[in-house]
Structure formats: structure tokens, C-alpha cells
Amino acid sequence: MPAERRIAVLLLASTLAALGLAGVYIAGGQPQAEGALLGVALAGIGFALILWARGLSSEGAVVAERGPLGGTVEDEEAVEERVEEVTEEPGRRSVLRLFWAAGGALALSAVFPIRSLGPAPGNALLRTAWRPGSRLMDTDGRLVRVDTLQVGGTLTAFPQGAEKAGDSSVILIRLEEGQLQPRPGRESWSPRGYVAYSKICPHVGCPVGLYQADTHELLCPCHQSTFDVLDGARPNFGPATRSLPQLPLAVDPQGFLIAQDDFDEPVGPGFWNRD
């Protein structure tokens, strides 16, 4: 087919596709048809242009000189001279220095509004919303009772009244009583086999949500750190460097699970002043 003919076919196809695109839109739209028709409409013009470009010029490759990039020495000297006329004169140099000082001070003062962009870190990273006596509430808003979970069961819990606190989620697991080897000082933290660990990975903060009941391991789905639930959620493998903080649990007289206190260490990823 001669080039003109092919160009004509392409442009005709493009025109039809564009009109079809308008039709699809008027008829209510359909993503696949929209994308395909727009693609045809654009590709028709594109290929037609490239075919057309081939016939536009018969001259083939053309060679041209580059010419010099830099200016002449006279140009450079002339510019330097004009600048030095202003800057190098003794009386002006001290004024220039004052200009620099004023400009620097202004730039410095312009840095301060950055402070308004966020609160001071303060205690925010060191504390969560857990308080002595906080009841555990699951993600459906139900309070957790001592009989809520069977052995091997897990759920995600928040402190009652602070369900939005992003740093306070815990994963609650019920083990056989006596299965857990509590760390020194944590013997009373896991009543009736209930143990609660911060759900925020100490690596980069993903929710440590996958519990493998057969191996008693918690797995972070983002970067595959694994934690040994029976051994204080010590990291077994992966980039995590610290155990998941453990929430001290108790059972209140009404049979609800409560926190004895906040975590005894910061939750989530590490930072400079963590320890």
C-alpha cells in the first residue's frame, strides 16, 4: 500500500475511534471501551505522523557544525570587570557585607514557621492510650470478657474509649495456661492464658497480624519478621530488633479483661531517644 493510503487509513481509523469514544461517553461510559478507543484514536494519529514524517524530507542525515560553547575571553573579562566595579570598591564592600548579614538573618527567621507544622514529640512516642484499668474492646466495639476467646483464639483489641488510638492496638492471644514462659516480673501479666502484645511491629510499624497457632509465632506481613509468642514475643527472624511490648493484663471483678497499666516500654518502630 502506498504511504498516502496507509496514512489515510490510519487517520480514518483514528477519527472513527474518537467519534466512538464520544459515543461511549454519551451512552454512560465504559472504562475498557474508553481506554481502547482512546488508544486507537491516538495511535492512529501517532503512526500516521511518523509515516508522514518519512516522506516529508528526502535529505537523509544532515551534518552541522556545533560551534563553540563558552564565551570569548574578552566577554568573560568584561563581565567580571562590570561586577567588580560594584563589589570590589572598598566603601561598597562593607555595605555589601551588611546586605549579606540582613539577607542571612531574614532567611534564618523564615525557618521558624516550619515549627508550626507539627507538635513537639514530647511523650507522644513513649506512651499509649492504655491506663490502669482500661478494658479491652474488640474492633466491633464489644468488651472482651474472660471467656471471649477459646485456647488458640486471637483478636485485635483497643482500650475502651480510645478505639482510634493508632498506637494502642494489641493482639490478644489465649494460650493454654502454663504454656507461656513469662519474663521475670511479668508473671502476673497473663491471667488464664491470655497474653496481649502491641500489634505495631517494632520494625516499621505494620500491624503484626498473622498468628500461626501451631508454632506459636506472630508474623508481620510487611517484612516477614517473626515473633515467638511463648517467649515474650522475641524476634526469631527478619529485620525486627526488639520483642513486641507486652501489655500487663488482669481480670476485673465483673470478668472483663483490663490492662494493669500502660506498656512498660515504647511501642512501634525505634527512634533516637527510645531508651
Partner 1 sequence: MGKRLFRWVDERLGTSHFARKAFDKIFPDHWSFMVGEIAMYCLVILIVTGVYLTFFFVPASGEVIYHGSYKALQGARMSAAYASSLDLSFEVRAGLVMRQMHHWAALVFLAAIVVHLCRVFFTGAFRRPREVNWIIGVTLLVMSMMNGFFGYSLLDDLLSGTGVRVGYSIALSIPVAGEWLAFLFFGGEFPNTEFITRFFVLHVLLLPALIVGLLGAHLAILWRQKHTQFKGRGRTEDNIEGSRLWPSYAAKSVGLFFIVTAVIAALGGLAQINPVWLYGPYDPAQASAATAGSQPDWYVGWLDGALRVMPGWEIRAFGHTIANPFFPGAVLPGLTFGVLYLWPFLERRFTKDRDPHNLLDRPRDAPVRTALGAATLSFYTILFIAGGNDVLSSVFRVAPESITNLFRVLIFVVPVLVFLVTRSACRSLARDHVHPFGGTVGSRVRRTPAGGYEAVDDDDPPPAEATRADLVAEAYRRPAPPAP
Which residues, numbered 105-134, are part of the site for partner 1 (CB under 8 A)? 114-115, 117-121, 124-125
User: Could you give phi then psi for residue 32, rounded to 5 degrees?
Assistant: -65, -45
Report the C-alpha gap between 30 and 8 in whole angstroms: 28
Binding to partner 1, residues 215-234 (CB under 8 A)? 221-225
Contacts of 142 (CB under 8 A, 6+ apart): 148
Nearer to partner 1, 9 or 251 (CB): 9
Per rule CB under 8 A, count of chain residues that contact partner 1: 78
Binding to partner 1, residues 39-58 (CB under 8 A)? 39-43, 45-50, 52-54, 56-57
Assigned C-alpha cell, 247: 501489655
Shortest distance (Å) from residue 225 CB to partner 1: 7
Shortest distance (Å) from residue 159 CB to partner 1: 12
Report the C-alpha gap between 91 and 98 in whole angstroms: 12
Nearest CA to 159 out of 269, 254, 248 is that of: 248
Shortest distance (Å) from residue 182 CB to partner 1: 23
Q: Which of 25, 84, 151, 254 binds partner 1 (CB under 8 A)?
A: 25
Report the C-alpha gap between 156 and 143 in whole angstroms: 11
Quick note: the x/- pattern for partner 1 over 73-112, rule CB under 8 A, is: ----------------------------------------
In sign, the C-alpha dihedral spanning 171, 175, 177, 182 is negative
Q: Which stretch binds partner 1 (CB under 8 A): 71-79, 91-99, 146-154, 198-206?
A: 198-206
Between the alpha carbon of residue 227 and those of residues 208, 220, 269, the distances in Å are 9, 8, 15
Q: Which stretch binds partner 1 (CB under 8 A): 78-86, 96-104, 173-181, 265-273?
A: 265-273
Q: Which of 28, 90, 141, 184 binds partner 1 (CB under 8 A)?
A: 28
Q: Which of 205, 211, 250, 265 binds partner 1 (CB under 8 A)?
A: 205
Burial class (CB in 10 A: 0-12, 13-18, 19+), 132: exposed
Quick note: the x/- pattern for partner 1 over 146-175, rule CB under 8 A, is: ----------x-x-------xx-x------
Report the C-alpha gap between 161 and 154 in whole angstroms: 21
Shortest distance (Å) from residue 150 CB to partner 1: 22
Nearer to partner 1, 5 or 66 (CB): 66
Reduce the DSSP state of residue 226 to 3 states and report it: strand
Pairing assessment for the beta strands 234-237 and 246-247 based on DSSP bridges: unpaired
Shortest distance (Å) from residue 252 CB to partner 1: 23
